[in-house]
Structure 1
Amino acid sequence: MNKNELKDFLENKVEQYNNPKFIESDPIQIPHQFSLKEDIEISGFLTATIAWGNRKSIINNAKRLVELLDNSPYDFIMNYKETDLEKLQPFVHRTFNGNDTIQFIKCLKNIYVNHNGLEAIFTKNAEKHSVQNAISKFKTTFFEVGHLQRTQKHISDPLKNSAAKRINMFLRWMVRNDKTGVDFGIWNSLSPAQLSCPLDVHSGNVARKLGLLTRKQNDGKALLELDTALRKLDAKDPVKYDFALFGLGVFEGF
């Protein structure tokens, strides 16, 4: 395929998958339970944090986590007592355990009390065409409160050559307004043009088959290569192609 054929092909796949039917089989359904901005972003952030492995397991465990937060994530984070955190101890998703869960709640409280919330902290350090530096700075700020060393592994650092798939996915959810009701578009201080594609095994394999990516590892260098290719197709909304790459990989076995 030449560039125009490839763009047409991907645009059709975006249209096929970027619609409300996508929600019912995707972890994005968890923040779609809420209407309050802070509830959407907190539930979205926690869901994205555990979004690796079996998709059904991710969704079930994210639902469980939201229930443990009394189905009011923002209110819980702002008003919990230490005794309220005890019920989080049994929670586990793969290597993310109860101690990590409690730590994340404490770190999120610090973000909302002392840094004006998640949107403000990502916006503060974003660059004109990238949020990767902002993700790295976010990790530093997130863990500025006393924390368990082991919990740090659950937030990736792009400046250490990570593709940071889960946070890039979360940012897509928050920033991109797709007009179809899938992504939320509730963070107006960032632009879709700054976002990076959530690069995982599915989107990476499809991107290689389509000639959008040559690097074999799904790391930070591969993400830059893929971003560069996607921005040539649509500089204003490059991450919309995540729907095409992911859909082709997961639903079509492309």
Structure 2
Amino acid sequence: MNKTELKSFLDEKVILYNNQDFIESDPVQIPHLFTQKEDIEIAGFLSATISWGNRKMIVKNAHKMMDLMGNAPYDFVMSHREIDLERLETFVHRTFNGQDFIGFIKGLQHIYQNHIGLETIFSQNIEGNDLQNSIHQFKQHFFEIPHLSRTQKHISDPMNGSAAKRINMYLRWMCRQDNKGVDLGIWKSIPPSILSCPLDVHSGNVARKLGLLTRKQNDGKALAELDLNLRELDPIDPVKYDFALFGLGVFEGF
């Protein structure tokens, strides 16, 4: 396929998958449960954090996270007492355990109390035409307070060569608003044009088959290559093609 044919093909797949039917099997359904901005962004952040492995298990455990916080995530983050955190100790999703969950609650409280909030901390640290420095700075601030060293591994750092798939997916949820009902688009201070594609094994394999990616590893360098090629197809909203790449890989076995 030439570039025009490739764009047409991928645009069709975006239309096929970027609609409300997508929500039913995806962890993006968790932030959709809420209406208050802070509830949406905290629910989204925690759900994205555990988004690796079996999708049904991700959704199940993300719902459990919300239940453990009384389905009021912002209120829980800001108003919890130490005794309230004890019930989180039983939580586990793969290598993310109850102690990590407690650490994340304290980290989020720190972000809202001392850095104005999640949107502000990401939007204040943009450098160039992507959000890699924003993610790096967010991680630095998130772990400014006392924490277990093991918990740090649950936030990827692009400055260490990571593609940071889960946090880029979270940023897509928060910043894209195309009225299709999937991404929530509640953050207005970050343009969708600088978002990065959530690169994982599915999107990476499809991207290679389509000639959008040559690098074999799904790392930061591969993400930069993929971003460059997707921005040529649509400079305004390049990460809409995540729906096409993911859908082709997961639902069509492309």
| 1:208 counterpart residue number | 208
- Residues 18-37 of structure 1: pairs in structure 2 closer than 5 A: 18-37=18-37
1:51 aligned partner: 51
Structure 1 counterpart SS, 2:235: coil
Ranges in structure 2 where 5+ consecutive residues have no aligned partner: none
How far did residue 129 of structure 1 move?
Answer: 1.2
SS of corresponding position for 1:125: coil
Give the corresponding residue for 2:62: 62
**Could you tell me how far 1:189 is from its partner in structure 2?**
0.3
Deviation at 1:132, TM superposition (A): 0.6
Alignment of 1:112-131 (within 5 A): 112-131=112-131
The 3-state SS of whatever aligns with 1:89 is helix
Deviations 1:7-55 (A, max 9, x none): 0000000000000000001000011100000000000000000000000
CA distance in 1, matches of 2:95, 2:122: 26
Give the Cα–Cα distance (whole angstroms) in 2 for the partners of residues 178 and 29 of structure 1.
17
TM-score, normalization: structure 1?
0.99
1:97 partner amino acid: N
CA distance in 1, matches of 2:184, 2:128: 21
Q: Deviations over 1:107-163 (max 9, x none)?
A: 000000111110000000012410011000100000000110000000000011000
Work out whether residues 111 and 142 of structure 1, in 8 Å CA contact, stay in contact via their aligned partners in 2.
Answer: yes
Partner Cα separation in structure 1 for residue 25 and residue 101 of structure 2: 24
**Distance in 1 separating the partners of 2:96 and 2:136:** 20
What CA distance in whole angstroms lies between the structure 1 residues aligned with 2:27 and 2:77?
A: 21
d(CA) in 2 for partners of 1:174, 1:98: 25
Work out whether 1:188 is the aligned partner of 2:188: yes
Q: Which runs of 5+ in 1 are unaligned?
A: none
Matches within 5 A, 1:111-150: 111-150=111-150
Q: CA shift at 1:178, angstroms?
A: 1.8
Q: 1:162-181 residue pairs with structure 2 within 5 A?
A: 162-181=162-181
Following superposition, the deviation at residue 234 of structure 1 comes to 0.4
Partner of 1:83: 83
* Alpha-carbon distance in structure 2 between the residues aligned to 1:55 and 1:233: 29
Counterparts of 1:125 and 1:47, CA distance in 2: 23
> What is the alpha-carbon distance in structure 2 between the residues aligned to residue 222 and residue 22 of structure 1?
26
**Matched residues in 1 for 2:215 and 2:30: separation?**
33
**Separation in 1 of the partners of 2:117 and 2:74?**
10
User: Could you tell me which amino acid in structure 1 is paired with residue 160 of structure 2?
Assistant: K
Distance between the aligned counterparts of 1:43 and 1:10, measured in 2? 30
Distance 1:167 1:173 in 2: 10
Partner SS for 1:74: helix
Q: Equivalents in 1 of 2:73, 2:170: separation in Å?
A: 16
- Whether the aligned pair in 2 keeps the contact of 1:127 and 1:194 (CA below 8 Å) is no
Alpha carbons 1:17, 1:243 under 8 Å: kept: yes
**Deviation (angstroms), 1:181:** 1.1
Alignment partner, residue 151 of structure 1: 151
Moved more, 177-186 or 46-55: 177-186
Q: Deviations over 1:68-93 (max 9, x none)?
A: 00000000011000000000000000
Give the CA RMSD over aligned residues. 0.5
Moved over 4 A (4+): none
C-alpha separation between the residues in 2 aligned to 1:126 and 1:239?
17
- Normalising by structure 2, report the TM-score: 0.99
User: Deviation at 1:179?
Assistant: 1.1
